[in-house]
Structure 1
């Protein structure tokens, strides 16, 4: 088995003064991508991992939640510049709107990409995945509400002829944890043809995954130094930071 760190990003901003825990500056993001490129990390999409039984050393997956417009402006050009791949996860109800689920938080509102912007993304570089329809915690929803969330997501996908990989990033990293609820939830994912489910966990994974519906991601925060980034790549989130 091989180590596979999966990094989780949210917003990208123009200046380090605008950073918060969900927002990385474009300067820091470039230093991180440059480090990955210079140290020969290989990036993969989930569609590729599905067909693989083993991965090269220094494999990594980059993920961005919410498909905010700032990711299009700042992250996408850097992915192209450094020849890296990433998976972007869509909250379907909010396409072309703003991140209304953060309405009462301390974070400023962020624009979500439009259908046109999503369709123009280079699919060789960027894979699109699911981030639910309503961006609600799955543990707060009933089985029928979760199923309805999938149905509404599929309606958007079909209406707009979007190419979406069978990978789902759980909103807030949240999913039902009780033993019976978890079994029902995973059955529902399988019935909806979801092949990978991503939580947080803040540790590198072993590949092949032990459980395709409990894949761990490492949260990259705006205040992380390059040294912290390098430590997270190797160990995940430590109590030191």
Structure 2
């Protein structure tokens, strides 16, 4: 059974002084991407994992949440430069707006920006529509969020693979809500559900609705990043 790290990124900035928490500097991001390239890592889209039962030894999945404009400006060119695949998770209601679930400081990509991205490098996935905590929503509210996502996808001709990154990594964890939530995921044809967890995954996944991601922080040193890549989030962190 292989071990598969799924890395989670958010904002990207050219300002090294803003490399903190959810924002990583372009210098650090390029250092990490160069490391993948020079050390022969293989990157995968979730669509490529659906029917696989084995992976090469150095396999990773790169993910970016929120499709902020800064990702379009800074992450997309670096992915292209190093020939790396990634999955970008879209909060559909906010396309062309700002990240209003935070402070509204970051612009969200427009439809034209999404359409300009090379699909052979970047696959789109779901990040809900309204970016709310699933555990705080009723089943009906969760279904309405799915319905809104589908309306926006259809209206704009977007190609989106049914992998869902839970906003805030949040989902119902207690029964019976957990089982009902997973039934809703199946009803809406979701193939993979992503939480945080900060651990490498065993592959094939034991539960495709509880795929763990490793949170890459802007303040992480390169050593800390490589340790996370190899071991997940250690207690000493």
TM-score normalised by structure 1 residue count: 0.97
In 1, Cα distance between the equivalents of 2:96 and 2:22?
20
Note the alpha carbon deviations across 1:57-109, whole angstroms, 9 max, x for none.
11000000000000011100000010100000000110000000002xxxx71
- Deviations 1:34-69 (CA, angstroms, capped at 9, x unpaired): 011111110000000012111111100000000000
1:29 is aligned to 2:29: yes
**Structure 2 SS opposite 1:240:** coil
The alpha-carbon deviation at position 239 of structure 1 amounts to 2.0
Structure 1 residue aligned with 2:224: 228
1:15 and 1:57 map into 2 onto residues whose CA distance is: 34
Matches within 5 A, 1:142-181: 142-181=138-177
Report the Cα distance in structure 1 between the residues aligned to 2:116 and 2:73, rounded to whole angstroms. 13
CA distance in 2, matches of 1:81, 1:132: 29
Give the match for residue 58 of structure 1. Answer: 58
Residue 122 of structure 1 corresponds to which residue in structure 2? 118
Q: Does 1:67 align with 2:67?
A: yes
Q: Secondary structure at the match of 1:179?
A: coil
Distance 1:8 1:18 in 2: 18
- 2-side partners of 1:51 and 1:213: how far apart? 15
Q: Of the candidates 184, 188, 192, which is equivalent to residue 196 of structure 1?
A: 192
Q: Would you identify which runs of 4 or more consecutive aligned residues in structure 1 move more than 3 Å?
A: none
Corresponding residue number in structure 2 for 1:88: 88
The 2-side partners of 1:32 and 1:149 are apart by 35
User: Helix, strand or coil: the match of 1:102?
Assistant: coil
Distance 2:75 2:41 in 1: 17
Structure 1, unaligned runs of 5 or more: none
Q: C-alpha distance in 2, partners of 1:51/1:125?
A: 19
Q: Distance in 2 between matches of 1:163 and 1:200?
A: 25
Compute the displacement of 1:201 (Å): 0.2
Give the structure-2-normalised TM-score: 0.99
RMSD: 0.7
* Structure 2: distance between partners of 1:168 and 1:174: 12
C-alpha separation in 2, matches of 1:58 and 1:204: 12
1:208 and 2:193 correspond = no
Question: Per-residue displacement from partner, 1:179-208 (whole Å, max 9, x unpaired)?
Answer: 211100000000000000000000000110
Q: How many residues align?
A: 237
